[in-house]
């Protein structure tokens, strides 16, 4: 028996088609949705598991979008003959659709958005590549759609000018106010990976983040050496989307452990923008204090995480009260999401992408702490966090930086925890549902904050 049609499966796709699109669901056993089938408006998006309805909708409303959900159970040659295009989609473990890619290509561009960090993930990528090369990409998908529009029509609606490309794949983004869809594109038609990425704001706050990424990359274009950055190809396209060049390095690999290449990259990012600020003057600190007050006073969404966030807010409040606001700290450029899945490391080079959270007044070592915490809390085979941080701090360039700049490691670690944990705790507190990783993060932040308190701020 087929699963029921889910509106949330196509919400991002409908938004990419038209931000004002009204999704109309028409199951095979349901009543005929007469109004959408008579309209010529582009702002209608019909989802159906009936080939008959799909054909009627296509003929009656050629400007609307029509998606036939085949559930990977049948082919629909009649739809292909009527100008429909076949797409496959892949669900995340939680059930949400994460990747969408057109059928018939032998290169899995969506793997560029799936940065392998484990043996299991690497084996998955090898399996997907084998499926694509053999023309059996449906074997690694969760389902199949037949859409009345082509990838080219979808992309052209997001660009001010026509862009010729040979392959594409859509990453639907992480649900929430910061959500962005990313379309990987191969413009050259050669090579294994994408040459460009089209980022499209979807969530409430995402347009500001995408705009910030453009501003940061434009400022960095001639200022940073030793790090490969995305190039801004189109700064402000339709609906605030941006087109970025790839950061491919050769031969590419990725490391879940903070090492010498990461340390050198941070020093290269710090060097042009290094200055000092009083702790009380840091915007990250004032934003953290505001977030903590909101968490302590405001109602929290009932999403299963409210007890953990309430306890976290108390821990944050205690650590914030112990911060020396008069202490001057060295600050510089911070990526603020410096993780293995936002970079590609090669022999002697490192490419870093997703700069939307970056800012130029971040306490040094913020990105080091973030890298170690995220990999420790989110990836399998988690090791002792304190030991991992000590190993990262002992790397020669980092050790020299701490000495030269007189960095109080414990003070900087406390600032990182306050800024990062308060921001995302507030985000989680406003969501009606949260993913399992949110629970892991909140638990991990609480452990770190409690260790800071128990050692009176002398953890390292």
Give the pLDDT confidence of 324-380 residue by residue, as tens digits: 999 999 999 999 999 998 998 877 778 999 999 999 999 999 999 999 999 999 877
Range in 19-23, 161-165, 255-259, 438-442 with the lowest mean pLDDT: 161-165
Same domain assignment for residues 289 and 366: yes
Q: Are 349 and 361 in contact (CB under 8 A)?
A: no
The residues that bridge with 44 in the sheet, in sequence order, are: 22
Same domain assignment for residues 268 and 361: yes
Total domains in the fold of the chain: 2
Same domain assignment for residues 194 and 50: yes
pLDDT in tens, 275-323: 999 999 999 999 999 999 999 997 888 899 999 999 999 999 999 999 9
pLDDT in tens, 136-158: 888 899 999 999 999 999 898 88
Tell whether 222 is covered by a domain: no
Angle at 347 between CA 345 and CA 352, to 5 degrees: 25
pTM: 0.89
The residue that leads in pLDDT, 460 or 231, is 231
Length of the chain in residues, anyone?
460
pLDDT bracket for residue 92 (50, 70, 90) = confident
Whole domain around residue 269: which residue ranges?
260-454
Q: Are 387 and 299 in contact (CB under 8 A)?
A: no
User: What CATH number is attached to the domain comprising 315?
Assistant: 3.90.1200.10
Tell whether 369 is covered by a domain: yes
Q: Are 230 and 217 in contact (CB under 8 A)?
A: yes
Query: In the listed set 144, 164, 198, which residue is the last one of a domain according to the structure?
Result: 198
**Which residues fall within 8 angstroms of residue 80, CB to CB, at 6 or more apart?**
86, 146
Residue 413 has which token pair? Answer: 């670690």
pLDDT reported for residue 34: 46
Give backbone dihedrals phi and psi of 309, rounded to 5 degrees, phi first: -70, -40
The residues that bridge with 244 in the sheet, in sequence order, are: 197, 232
Question: CA-CA distance, 132 to 141, in Å (whole number)?
Answer: 11
Question: CA-CA distance, 53 to 47, in Å (whole number)?
Answer: 9
Q: CB 343: neighbour CB atoms within 10 A?
A: 25
Query: Quick one: what percent of the chain has pLDDT higher than 70?
Result: 90
pLDDT in tens, 21-48: 888 888 765 555 445 555 556 678 999 9
Same domain assignment for residues 14 and 100: yes
The residue that leads in pLDDT, 1 or 235, is 235
Question: CA-CA distance, 17 to 415, in Å (whole number)?
Answer: 41
| Helix or strand holding residue 58 (H, E) | helix 51-60
Give backbone dihedrals phi and psi of 70, rounded to 5 degrees, phi first: -85, -10
Comparing CA positions, the residue from 363, 360, 341, 359 lying closest to residue 351 is 341
């Amino acid at each position: 028996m087929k699963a029921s049609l889910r509106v949330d499966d196509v919400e991002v796709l409908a938004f990419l088609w038209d931000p004002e699109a009204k999704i109309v669901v028409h199951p095979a056993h349901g009543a005929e949705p007469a109004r959408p089938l008579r309209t010529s408006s582009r702002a209608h998006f019909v989802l159906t598991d009936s080939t008959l309805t799909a054909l009627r909708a296509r003929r009656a409303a050629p400007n609307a979008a029509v998606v036939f959900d085949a559930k990977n159970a049948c082919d629909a040659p009649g739809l292909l003959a009527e100008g429909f295009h076949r797409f496959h989609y892949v669900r995340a473990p939680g059930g949400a659709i994460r990747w969408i890619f057109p059928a018939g290509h032998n290169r899995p561009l969506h793997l560029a958005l799936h940065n392998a960090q484990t043996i299991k993930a690497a084996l998955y990528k090898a399996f997907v590549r084998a499926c694509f090369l053999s023309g059996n990409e449906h074997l690694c998908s969760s389902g199949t759609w037949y859409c009345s529009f082509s990838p080219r029509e979808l992309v052209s609606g997001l660009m001010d000018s026509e862009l010729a490309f040979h392959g594409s794949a859509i990453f639907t983004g992480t649900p929430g106010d910061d959500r962005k869809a990313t379309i990987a594109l191969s413009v050259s038609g050669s090579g294994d990976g994408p040459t460009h990425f089209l980022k499209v704001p979807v969530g409430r706050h995402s347009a500001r983040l995408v705009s910030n990424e453009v501003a940061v990359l434009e400022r960095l274009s001639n200022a940073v050496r030793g790090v490969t950055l995305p190039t801004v190809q189109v700064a402000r396209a339709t609906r605030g989307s941006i087109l970025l060049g790839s950061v491919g390095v050769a031969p590419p690999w990725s490391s879940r452990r903070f090492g010498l290449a990461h340390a050198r990259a941070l020093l290269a990012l710090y060097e042009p923008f290094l200055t000092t600020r009083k702790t009380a003057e840091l915007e990250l600190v004032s934003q953290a204090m505001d977030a903590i007050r909101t968490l302590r006073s405001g109602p929290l969404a009932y999403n299963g995480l409210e007890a953990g966030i309430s306890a976290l807010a108390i821990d944050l409040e205690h650590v914030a009260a112990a911060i020396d606001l008069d202490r001057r700290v060295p600050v510089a450029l911070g990526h603020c999401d410096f993780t293995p899945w936002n970079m590609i490391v090669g022999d002697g080079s490192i490419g870093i992408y997703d700069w939307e959270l970056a800012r130029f007044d971040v306490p040094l070592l913020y990105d080091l702490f973030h890298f170690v915490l995220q990999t420790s809390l989110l990836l399998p085979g988690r090791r002792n966090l304190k030991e991992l941080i000590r190993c990262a701090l002992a790397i020669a360039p980092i050790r020299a930086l701490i000495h030269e700049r007189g960095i109080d490691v414990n003070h900087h670690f406390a600032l990182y925890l306050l800024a990062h944990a308060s921001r995302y705790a507030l985000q989680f507190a406003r969501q009606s549902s949260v993913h399992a990783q949110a629970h892991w993060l909140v638990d991990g932040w609480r452990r770190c904050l409690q260790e800071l308190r128990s050692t009176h701020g002398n953890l390292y």
